[in-house]
Structure 1
Amino acid sequence: MSAVSVLGVRHHGPGSARSLRRELERLRPDVILVEGPPEADALVALAPGLEPPVALLAHVPGAPAKAAFWPFAQFSPEWQAILYGAAAGVPVRFCDLPAAHSLADEETDESEGGEAGDGLRADPIGALAAAAGHDDPERWWEDVVEHRGDTPFEVIAEAMAAVREGHVPVGREARREAYMRRTLRAAIKEGFGVVAVVCGAWHVPALAGPLPPAAADNALLRGMPKVKAELTWVPWTYGRLASWSGYGAGIASPGWYHHLFTVPDRPVERWLTEAAAVLREEGLPVSSAHVIESVRLAATLAGLRGRPLAGLGEVTEAARAVLCEGDDLAVELIQRRMVVGDRLGHVSDGTPMVPLQRDLREQQRRLRIRPEALDRELDLDLRRPLDLERSHLLHRLRLLEVGWGTPGQARGKGTFRESWTLRWLPEHDLALIEHAALGTTVAAAAARRCRDLAGAPSSALADLTALVEACLLADLPEALPGVLAALSAKAALDTDVTHLMAALPAMVRAHRYGDVRGTSAEGLAVIVRSMLDRICVGLPVAVTGLDDDAAAGLLKHVDAVHAAVALLTEPPAASGSASAGAEGEGVVRGRWLGTLRGMADRQDLHGLVEGRLTRLLLDAGELADADDRMSRAMSRGQTPVRAAAWVEGFLSGGGLLLVHDPRLLGLVDTWLTALPADQFTDVLPLLRRTFGGFAGPERRAIGERVSAAGGTGDTGAATEPDVDERRAAGAVATVLSIIGRDRG
């Protein structure tokens, strides 16, 4: 006869983990059954070489949406059971529903494993807390279990039996418990003398005592859907453990629970001492006296609330009042760094990995950028070989949908700088596994991904130009010819000029990256010139008959192309060759500006378009009659709404022009002040939107000039008076004396 001990625990409970370890050492079982997918039995032997938090990842090859994680922290009872079995030479087996079934079950929450999907199950801890007269289940559990030196497993089993009285499991919960009983029967049949079952406390009544007939469980499990599932260990984070858990028992304070498990002696004193150290690292003045006083306050709060030990609530309030002196930002720092924590787990080299994962791990070591759980800023100087390789790796990973790095605004000037925010998430391993079929290295897989995307029939022109840019950023010259060929074919067939205009800026940036990074961009210049030629031909037709929304949308494309042309005609900074710039100045820039000039002279343009074209040509030095054009646009022959649209388009390039050109400012001022009240009301929203886009100093400078002019329209002379006050002082004194007034 086998002796079966069903040990009910709270998933990720430090008190449960400590008590479970002691109970296993007392029982000395011959086999340990742990809640989890049985396909992972072969992975148990790797556990001693892993650094938690880690998670079992189950996934269906070719179906990235079907994946599940079973996370383990150092303070997880299941993890301690696995470590005990490995150290004592006791076999450890998982006894939950196989991942092959749970991933095929439509009731399963596909983002996580464990007890997800048991929507009908009541909250057992909440029920017990309510029965004990407590309104906070978390605090009650900490007081009666986590803060105790020993967890009474018999009492927990009895309490759960009372909570489950009358409860009939259905659906996935019923199938899970049926499979647990099947695994338990198999262990008993094998002849193990002492069997220890480690499971969530909720399941204890279903496994303890006489088991129901096996036929009923077999009938329940018969005909379950099944998929092919593969499992491995992956690193996990405390941040992810805090947001959700694979056991339906997510915890908001994994860093605090880690502290309770690893520091059983004087945990409150040591926690507040560590909090003081964190604040000192940020330059905040915290003394030993602060720590002593905060410990006293936490103990006093616990005593007033009838708690056996100060919990997280008490130590947080003590830290807020004493260490942080009421500063919420300092409290948030402790919350982020300690209560949740930035711990990221680690798996050993012997862990099953696809070649893509191994290649990334090797590159992380070689390039000295280790994955971390919290945001880390990384500034790259692309003139340095090491930083350039780092940039290539991060861009390749983005092509593989591994968002380890998020590009940001580079500090300083120059196209040779990049800024990244790095943060490793457990899901990145799943993305690598899903793209493993593309290649054995990150570079090969990213290149294959580019070719696949370029060959997709649904790829739009803008998508292909972005893909060209991505190829150059990631240094994938083997993929570039195929992408360029697809782009050229798509551009030749696309008749919508706005599509070409949307695609051109990325192509120009790609051309520049080929110069700055030392990457060959052969073939890009020909495609860019061809696209620009077609834009110059099609744009005059596209500006005809536009309403307000269409005009505003088109101008965004015009501005983008105008900026791209300026970038294209600028001599490359890295190559030092000015030939491309000379060709651009003579041909590319002239062709584009000629197109704008031809459209600006037309009488059928939307006021917004005409005003913007006038401004672009003025800034490019192509117009000498901007004030005459503004006068005509705001003459009495034009409706106020069209005139306001013209002004909006003209001034959308910034307000400095009005600051430095009194003639143009006077024209706008005179036109605006001469409008009747009703017309002024009509154009006010347009003008408010225009001037609202100016920078604060620009608006102030314009207002000062108009105020100084006194609304006369002469906004230039009034700002620079010709009177020399020092020389006039004598004359002023004489005049005051004559009229009988003392100057003082």
Structure 2
Amino acid sequence: MNGEPVNSGAVEGPWLLGVRHHGPGSARAVRAALDERRPRAVLIEGPPEADGLVGLAADEGMRPPVALLAHVVDDPGCSAFWPFAEFSPEWVAITWALEHGVPVRFIDLPAAHALAMRAGEKEAATEGPEAERGEPEAGALEGGARESGAPVSDEPESGGPGAVDGLRLDPIAVLAETAGYDDPERWWEDVVEYRGQPAAGGDALAPFAALAEAMGALREVYGTGGHDRDLVREAYMRLQMRAAAKEFGPDVAVVCGAWHVPALRERTTLTADRALLKGLPKAKVDMTWVPWTHRRLARASGYGAGIDSPGWYAHLFAAPDRPVERWLTKVAGLLRDEDRFVSSAHVIEAVRLAESLAVMRGRPLPGLSETTDAVRAVLCDGSDVPLALIHDRLIVGDVLGEVPEAAPAVPLQRDLTRTQKSLRLKPEALERELELDLRGANDAARSRLLHRLRLLGIGWGEPAAATRGSTGTFRESWRLRWEPELAVRVAEAGIWGTTVLGAATAKAEANAVGAAALADITALAERCLLAGLSDALPVVMRVLADRAALDADVGHLAQALPALVRSLRYGDVRGTDTAALAEVAAGLAERVFVGLAPACAGLDADGAAEMRTHVDAVHGAVGLLDDAEARTSEGIRPRWFTVLHALGTRDTVPGVIRGRAVRLLLDEGELSQEEAGRLMGLALSAGTPPADAAAWIDGFVGGGSGGMLLVHDERLLGLVDAWLVSVPDAAFTDVLPLLRRTFSAYEPGVRRTLGELVRRGPAAESAAKVTAGVPGFADDLDEERARAALPVVRLLLGLDAPPATTPDSTNDLAEVAG
């Protein structure tokens, strides 16, 4: 390696301050060096396109962690991040320069080149044999930033210390192993992070000189450490250093990854550096600041330059003194908030234990491992359960940064920010549950916003099950968590419009035209209603009507109907006009009615099982459709019952569908118990093949409530029992799997009751007396008992206060039923 060794005591620069990104010890050392040397300019490893954004770091609205986001203008998905925390050495250098009025320049390879190179590599990988390696995309968060020459690019991609098979070298792991440590993080903490400020009169550059010497030795052995792009990046940084020397003189500080220091010291020629940069691809990029989170700084998130404990490092950087005592006080506060008993004596004992462990392990100060062991033993009673909460909330943390309004942003992002403020819906890094009451204007607007963002692919909120035990259609539950990569999704969605409403409308219209299946279009119509996209709905409905007219597949029509009817049934909660929806739904239902019976003929077992699910879905949809729009759906239910009668009595229809049709008619009161028993008797007669009879039983009593039907109607149970006994031995093994599947779906209590009834043997007697009354039910209505239940029924139905008790309970029952 050419060049002269760094003289840490040199009066003139440039001063190369090699750091580990996101290290509080490196950050303190950088500030001490800057305070001592007072450079005329500060050069930082980072994209030069961000030079114009540096001033925003001094804005009162800027709160780290934040990140620089660069994306290709024509392809927002091709993007990269450069994260900064409060304890990042680069952030400390930026804030120091702004405080002292010193110019700041980023000197790494421009994002215009880095993103273009990354896109080219991705395209080549998808076409060549490397396509199956699963390399991260150019916009894949921190991974994209790593490959784009961001400040995080010095950290390892591999778990081992050496560059093996093209994997990147982990210099910290090599140095730790050389020093006899089995944990690289522990070695780094001991030699760097726990170092205090330099002693009075000491040389603030000495730590950097020692680290540069170590990196130089490693580069002599490992070269670039497994990443040839570093040669291009380092050539560009040397050119920028020469330009800064001409402009500001030699007194310049360079803050970069320690791995690059030996290369930046090399005495290379201007021609040689320019040759390395010749012919680089280039793309037009935009850059801005975006909020970041401690969780995204963690190595566990997949961030190549990540650290194990962002929250712990932030504490070390912010604590002026007594870091262990202050940290354990935070832990105690968290545990108390979770209703765990923690006293001051617990904290004192934990501090003493952590200090004793540090002495026993030969560490300068108690580290995270010592404090964690002390917390587990003293505050958590040896349990790892509360320790997991401490790790999630404190060691990693859920801090979400903020950026000022003056930061550049796409119009869609600005509209989203305004909407979030007006709805008092602040983005947060910590996942939280949000309960919405759609009867309120603000909650309804929140719901529309979240649904619009989901349609645009911006997954800020995900629907969740209601937590208040309410199944009312006026309630919605969401899980909200703002992730940094959503900024990229917002930039990508910006091609559809400048506002959330306009972009969601345009995206819905495009999705309708490009939808492949009819069910996709009906689902899209439902999402348009939920999102309040009244302008997009006519386009979606026109496409839906055209597709429905051309689609002759009854299965497709049956799949499309339920989502359409749900939209019609529940859309009025949000005050949307569903008249057009009702007309299309009624027409779709009519087409299903006409084509369903012929479509069920000649199906195999798999096709019959699938068609059975379609029949169930259509039945539920018809009930909602008839209740929702009496004007347009008048007579739909009687026509549907006619279709079910046809399905239940045709021999050409598979048994599972015939049985289901009979069961649905029985549940709706369109078929008497006697008629259902007659049809079951025919289906289970000796002339029916056992497999077909078993399929009929599966259709009739399959599902959650089929068991209760057999429990309360012992006559039907007797028919099933008698048929099962009569199945020949040769056919029994063929029908057994289907029957086991049918009856295994019942609740354990139902299965136990059925077994007791069969063992007791009343079923045979009931089967012989087809015309006898049903056991357990009286012949006439007990009006006195019925009248006593009326107040509770009215309360459950949400009706008015119970009327005065009258002798005529039949009228009261009819009123409640109506």
Cα 1:708–1:223 shift into 2, 3 Å: same
**Matched residue, 2:210:** 155
Q: Which amino acid aligns with 2:182?
A: D
Deviation (angstroms), 1:401: 1.0
**Are residues 1:9 and 2:19 paired?**
yes
2:745 pairs, out of 667, 682, 693, with: 693
What does 1:485-524 align with in structure 2 at a 5 Å threshold?
Answer: 485-524=542-581
2:41 to 31, 37, 42: 31
Taking the aligned partners of 2:385 and 2:484, their CA distance within structure 1 comes to 28
CA distance in structure 2 between the partners assigned to 1:176 and 1:479 by the alignment:
48
Aligned to 1:623: 671
Decide which moves more: 701-710 or 504-513. 701-710
Amino acid aligned to 1:95: I
Q: Return the offset for 1:241.
A: 1.6
**2:329 and 2:762 mapped to 1: Cα distance?**
66
Aligned to 1:386: 442
1:258 aligned to which of 310, 314, 337: 314
Q: Which amino acid aligns with 1:116?
A: E
Indicate the residue corresponding to 1:443 in structure 2: 501
Partners of 2:76 and 2:491 within 8 A in 1: no
Mapped to 2, the partners of 1:693 and 1:126 lie a distance apart of 55
**Distance in 2 of aligned mates of 1:172 and 1:330:** 44
Asked whether the 8 Å contact 1:451–1:479 carries over to 2, the reply is: yes
1:564 and 2:621 correspond: yes
> In structure 2, do the counterparts of structure 1 residues 339 and 713 end up closer, same or farther at CA, with 3 Å as the change threshold?
farther
CA distance in 2, matches of 1:717, 1:322: 70
SS of the aligned residue for 1:544 comes to coil
Q: Render the CA deviation track for 1:685-725: whole Å, top value 9, x for unaligned.
A: 212222222233333333343344488676999998xxxxx
Contact 2:497 2:503 in 1 (8 A): yes
Q: 1:669-699, CA deviations, whole angstroms, 9 ceiling, x for partnerless residues?
A: 3333444555433322212222222233333
In structure 2, which of residues 706, 719, 731 is the aligned counterpart of residue 667 of structure 1? Answer: 719
After TM superposition, list the pairs within 5 Å mapping 1:706-717 onto structure 2. Answer: 706-709=758-761
In the TM superposition, residue 234 of structure 1 has moved relative to its aligned partner by: 0.5
Q: Does 1:143 align with 2:201?
A: no
With over 3 angstroms needed to count, the CA separation of the structure-2 counterparts of 1:64 and 1:642, relative to structure 1, is farther
Q: How far apart in 2 are the matches of 1:286 and 1:297?
A: 16
In structure 1, the partner of 2:645 is 597
Is contact 2:437-2:444 (8 Å) kept? yes
Partner Cα separation in structure 1 for residue 306 and residue 91 of structure 2: 16
**C-alpha separation in 1, matches of 2:689 and 2:351:** 75
| Counterpart residue identity of residue 518, structure 1 | G
CA change 1:191–1:336 in 2 (3 A) is closer
1:238-277 CA distances to partner (integer Å, 9 max, x unpaired)?
1122157898321121111111111142222221221121
Asked whether the equivalents of residues 586 and 632 of structure 2 are also in contact (C-alpha less than 8 Å), the reply is: no
Deviates more, 1:178-187 or 1:268-277: 268-277
Q: 8 Å contact 2:114–2:147 — kept in the other structure?
A: no
Aligned mate of 1:455, from 485, 488, 513: 513
Q: Which of 104, 115, 126 is equivalent to 2:146? A: 115
Render the CA deviation track for 1:427-466: whole Å, top value 9, x for unaligned: 211121222232222112111222222233x543222111
Q: Quick one: structure 1 residues 298 and 659, their matched pair in 2 at CA, closer, same or farther if it must change by over 3 Å? A: farther
Higher mean C-alpha deviation, range 19-28 or range 316-325:
316-325
**Structure 1 residue aligned with 2:407:** 351
Structure 1 contact 450–467 (Cα < 8 Å) conserved: yes
Structure 1 partner of 2:66: 54
Match of 2:111 among 96, 99, 102: 99
Moved more, 655-664 or 193-202: 655-664
Which residue of structure 1 lines up, in the alignment, with residue 264 of structure 2? 207
* Alpha-carbon separation, structure 2, partners of 1:582 and 1:712: 49
CA change 1:100–1:392 in 2 (3 A) is: same
Cα pair 2:703 2:745 within 8 Å, conserved: no
Give per-residue Cα distances to partners, 1:611-669, cap 9 Å, x unaligned: 21121111111222112222222232223322222211112232221222222222223
Contact preservation (8 Å) 2:66, 2:291: yes
Q: Does 1:581 align with 2:636?
A: no
Counterpart-to-counterpart distance in 2, 1:713 and 1:167? 89
* Cα shift readout 1:291-332 (whole Å, capped 9, x = no counterpart): 222222222222222222222222222222221223332111
Q: Which moved more, 1:356-365 or 1:35-44?
A: 356-365
Aligned to 1:467: 524
Deviations 1:487-543, CA, capped at 9 Å, x for gaps = 111111111111111111111111123322211122111111111111111111211
Query: Which ranges of structure 2 fall in alignment gaps of 5 or more residues?
Result: 1-10, 123-135, 154-165, 198-205, 777-818
The question of 1:535 aligning with 2:582 is answered no
Match of 2:176 among 126, 129, 135: 129
Equivalent in the alignment of 1:725: none
Give the 3 Å change call, closer, same or farther, for CA 413–72 of structure 1 in structure 2: same
Q: Distance in 1 between matches of 2:393 and 2:645?
A: 59
Q: How many residue pairs get matched?
A: 709
Greater Cα shift, 477-486 or 299-308: 299-308
Amino acid at match of 2:694: A
Structure 1 residues 708 and 12: CA distance shift in structure 2, 3 A: farther
Q: What does residue 229 of structure 2 align with?
A: 172
- What is the one-letter code of the residue matched to 1:544? A
Shift in CA distance, 136/415, structure 1 to aligned 2, threshold 3 Å: same
Q: Aligned equivalents of 1:246 and 1:656: distance in 2?
A: 51
- Matched with 1:736 is none
SS in 2 for 1:11: coil
Seen in structure 2, the aligned counterparts of structure 1 residues 490 and 568 have a Cα distance that, compared at 3 Å, is same
Whole-Å Cα distance in 1 between the matches of residues 231 and 711 of structure 2? 76
Deviation string for 1:147-195 (max 9, x for gaps)? 1215811111111111111433363111111111111111112233411
The amino acid of 1:617's aligned partner reads L
Deviation at 1:473, TM superposition (A): 0.7
The partner residue of 2:536 within 468, 479, 485 is 479
Equivalents in 2 of 1:340, 1:326: separation in Å? 21
Counterparts of residues 221-370 of structure 1 (less than 5 Å): 221-243=277-299, 248-370=304-426
Residue of structure 2 equivalent to 1:740: none
The residue matched to 1:232 in structure 2 has which SS? strand
Aligned-partner residue type, residue 69 of structure 1? F
Q: 2:702 aligns with which of 628, 637, 652?
A: 652
Alpha-carbon deviation of 1:352?
0.5
The CA distance in 2 between the partners of 1:166 and 1:460, in whole Å, is 59
Task: Please tell me whether the aligned partners of residues 562 and 618 of structure 2 are also in contact (alpha carbons under 8 angstroms).
Answer: yes
Q: Per the alignment, in what secondary structure is the counterpart of residue 230 of structure 1?
A: strand
| Counterpart Cα distance in 2 of 1:82 and 1:275 | 32
| Aligned match of 2:813 | none
Aligned partner of 1:132: which letter?
Answer: A
- The answer (yes or no) to whether the contact 2:519–2:559 under 8 Å persists in 1 is yes
Is the 1:116–1:246 contact (alpha carbons within 8 Å) kept by the matching residues of 2? no
